Every structure is written in structure tokens, then in C-alpha cells.
Amino acid sequence: MSGERPIGVIGVGWVGLVTATCFADMGHEVIAMDIDAAKIRSLSRREVPIHEPGIEKLLERNADRLTFTTEMEAVLESARLLFCCVDTPPTYSGDADLSRVQAVVSQLADDGDHALVMKSTVPSGTGRAIRRDAPGLSYVSCPEFLKEGTAVEDFLHPDRVVIGADAGAEWAADQIEAIYRPLGGEIVRTDVASAEMIKLAANAFLATKISFINEIANVCEEVGADVTEVARGMGLDKRIGPSFLRAGVGYGGSCFPKDVSALKQLAGNTGYHFQLLTAVIEVNELQKRRVIGKLEKHLGSLAGKTIALLGLAFKPDTDDMREASSLVLAARLHGEGATVRGYDPVAERPASELLPSVELSGSAEEALEGADAAVLVTEWPEFAELDWEALRERMGNALVVDGRNFLDAQRLRDAGFAYEGIGLANGESDEAREARESAEAGSR
């Protein structure tokens, strides 16, 4: 907005790019910096290096308010608020790797003119450590809660905005509050350590909800209940709520696995054993492997069988494959001696790097041609629209394991498929079950 100093954004990965383009769309001048010169060049040409709906339009619409640079000096000269959006990947021990954050802090003038606004997810205590090293720098924790695939929408319509600042940084917190206020959503003003903890606790709680419903799903399979019905009945209780109760092959992505282990590790470093999170992580690992058992139930040994993975990204509407369930599934299937094919509508490039031994197909139909089973890993809408009746004839064996309870089970069964979901009542008639069991006994 005219008269204001531009907003600085440091690190234009996924969070930084969403933050920069959304601030620009709200009418602010933004200067965004990254050390990756190739990325800055492509953004200056208005080319978007990530798959995130809405970003291209925002970049185009607000081109005159967005400056991209590799020079920290240029950011420090014009901006006062510096939104830090560099990544904090997990280390081997499970702690967050803060080297990129530290590299940013080491370049900041300790002159009292700037405020570092931390959007990167960092362990509780990071703000305190940074202020110890750079006492003149104002520090604000402003964690982001964006979801990949709906990040622009989430940014522009937040449930809440958390702003954590200690004495001396109120000026910056006031400015940040003024920037976010037009978006609506509750503003939570608090101290730095609590703001840092809110982010980790929120993600750990959502991951706990997913592991919880996945365990309920596993019990549902044993007692003949249907987890989607159970989740619906549970979710109507306002104290529980309906979201994050979709059972499936477990959570993945850049945040949940990293943040859950970072919080567990953070607690462990203080001598506190966070037992619940240990179970959340273990359930998530085991959940991916249950698919193997479902395949074996129908196919016997998987050695020499061809299995097609439909969807490789960790969720739809993204090309992100970090901690995707497809990675674990492909490794386990290879371990069992299966040939693995894979198809994803957008994640082909990361898939070719991360899944070198998977045969990547150009379409779902190609992946399924002659395959012994389809495993739906990511619920891309196009998989529901496939001509499953025609595919029944083209597959070597009519088996679908639906890792997201996404497909129309009845339609697939009517088309002649054996269909396995996660935590669903089997849907088999007694006669069909008897026929299958006697066929299984015969093949042993």
C-alpha cells in the first residue's frame, strides 16, 4: 500500500511464494528473496516452479507489486518486516534442521530497525535462542497453517492468525496484526514460545486424529463395521468435529511427519517421553504396510505380480512427494518381488527421481493394462471417473485396493472387481465369501 515500506519475504519455497503472492494481492508491495538464482529467474519471468492452484493467477495479477531478488541487501534496504519462510527439514535424529534459519539470522543487521517474522516451523525455544544471539533484532513468531493444494484459499481465509511477540517487538506485532486483520479470522496475540508451540501442537493433534481413525478402521475390519459411518457419527459431535477423520494409508507430506517427530524429539530433549506421539508415528508406518496384506489376501505371494499404484503425490492437487505413502508402498512391493507401476497426474518429475525402480506410466489406463491389482494411493478425482467397466477386461486380475476409500465400491463390485477399502465392511455376500475362501484354499 502506498506510503508503507514493502514486506520482505525470505525463502520462496512453497510457503514463501504463497505468502508473497497473497500479500501482494492484498495490495502490499513485496520484495521476495531466495538464494536459488534459477528459481528467482523463473519467478521474475512469472513462471511458477511449484504446483499450487491459484498461484499463477496471483503472480500475474500482482506482477507490479512483486520484486524477486537473490540479494539480502536489497531486502534489508527496503523492508522492515522480514517474513522468514526457509525450510526446516528433519535431521536423522528427528530434530528440525535450523541451518537455513541460522544463515538468514547471520545476515540480518542487529540494528533495531528490522523484525524477523518466523513463518518456518521451528521448535519451541528457537525465538529465545535467536534473540540471545541478535539482541537488537525484533522477533515475532507467526506460524503458518496452510495446506498444500488449498494454500491460497487457506491464506486468504484463515481460521486464526497466531502472532507471538515478547517485549520490544510489539511494534512489529502491531504491524503484522494490521496486515492480517482484513482477512478476518481470530487474531491470537501471545508470547513467542507459546506461538511456536501452537503450531507444533496443532499439527501433532491433527496427525493424532488421523492415526486414531486409522486404528478404528483396523478394528472396524475385524468387527464388520464401516469406518466412514463411524467417522460420520463421531464427527457430528461438536467436541470432535468431522475433519481429519478420513481413514486411509496414513498421512504424509512436508509437515505432519516432520512436525510430529520434531515435537516428540523436543519433548525428549527435555527428558519428557511423549508416549502418545510415539504411537501416532508407529500407527502411521504400519498403516501403509496393511495394503500388502490386503493384496496377499487375494493374490497369495506377490512375487512376479504386477501392481499399479494410482497416485504418487502425498495428497491430491500437489506434485509434492515428500513422505508420500507411495514411497513406502513401492519399497515394500519391491521387497515382496512384485513389479511396480505408477501413475500420477502431476507428480511425474519427482516420481522419476524418487521412485527409480517404478515403471512410470503416462496414464492410469496404461498403468493398469495387464496388472494384477490397482492400489489407489492418492485420491485424484480423475480416478473416480475412469471407465472401470472397460478396465476390468484389460487388467490381468480384477482387484482394487482403495487406500483412500475414494472409489464407488458398489460400482466396482458390480463391474466384477474384488474391492478392498480401509476399514470398510467387506460388502461380500456369504456365497461370494465362501466361493473366494474355497478358491483361496484350493490355490494353497
As given in the structure block, the three cell numbers for residue 146 are 496452510
Q: Does the annotation count 255 as an active-site position?
A: yes
Only one residue has cell 495490495, namely 27
Distances (CA, A) of 137 to 132, 169, 176, 218, 240: 10, 9, 16, 51, 41
Rank residues 129 and 216 by Cβ distance to ligand UDX and give the closer one.
216
Shortest distance in whole angstroms from residue 202 CB to ligand UDX = 7
CA gap 416, 433 in Å, rounded: 14
Shortest CA distance to 409 belongs to which of 175, 239, 157, 228?
228
CA gap 87, 11 in Å, rounded: 8
Query: What's the CA angle centered on 55, arms 250 and 45, to 5 degrees?
Result: 130
Rank residues 317 and 372 by Cβ distance to ligand UDX and give the closer one.
317
Residue, CB closest to ligand UDX: 255
Only one residue has cell 504386477, namely 306
Rank residues 245 and 371 by Cβ distance to ligand UDX and give the closer one.
245
Q: Which helix (H) or strand (E) holds 344?
A: none
Amino acid at 90: P
Shortest distance in whole angstroms from residue 199 CB to ligand UDX = 8
Rank residues 213 and 340 by Cβ distance to ligand UDX and give the closer one.
213
Rank residues 96 and 210 by Cβ distance to ligand UDX and give the closer one.
210
Shortest distance in whole angstroms from residue 257 CB to ligand UDX = 9
Using only C-alpha atoms, what is the Rg of the chain?
24
Shortest distance in whole angstroms from residue 377 CB to ligand UDX = 9
Shortest distance in whole angstroms from residue 244 CB to ligand UDX = 4
Shortest distance in whole angstroms from residue 384 CB to ligand UDX = 16
Residues making contact with ligand UDX (CB under 6 A): 144-148, 203, 206, 210, 244-246, 248, 251-253, 255-256, 314-315
Alpha-helical segments (H) within 300-385: 325-335, 348-354, 364-368, 381-384
How many other CB atoms sit within 10 Å of the CB of residue 150? 15
Count how many Cα atoms sit within 13 Å of the Cα of residue 328 in the half-sphere of its side chain.
20
How many other CB atoms sit within 10 Å of the CB of residue 87? 17
The catalytic position among 22, 84, 142, 255 is 255
As given in the structure block, the three cell numbers for residue 213 are 481413525
Query: What's the CA angle centered on 320, arms 352 and 242, to 5 degrees?
Result: 140
Rank residues 127 and 316 by Cβ distance to ligand UDX and give the closer one.
316
Shortest distance in whole angstroms from residue 62 CB to ligand UDX = 23
Q: Cβ(444)–Cβ(427) under 8 Å?
A: no
- Written in H, E and C, the secondary structure of 185-222 is CEEEEECHHHHHHHHHHHHHHHHHHHHHHHHHHHHHHH
Rank residues 76 and 324 by Cβ distance to ligand UDX and give the closer one.
324
CA gap 367, 364 in Å, rounded: 5
**Partners of 162 in the beta sheet?**
188
Residues 6+ apart with CB under 8 A from 171: 115, 138
CA gap 18, 146 in Å, rounded: 9
- Burial, 386: exposed, middle or buried (Cβ in 10 Å; 0-12, 13-18, 19+)? middle
Amino acid at 101: V
Shortest distance in whole angstroms from residue 57 CB to ligand UDX = 20
Rank residues 202 and 225 by Cβ distance to ligand UDX and give the closer one.
202
Rank residues 185 and 370 by Cβ distance to ligand UDX and give the closer one.
185
Shortest distance in whole angstroms from residue 343 CB to ligand UDX = 18
Catalytic residues: 255
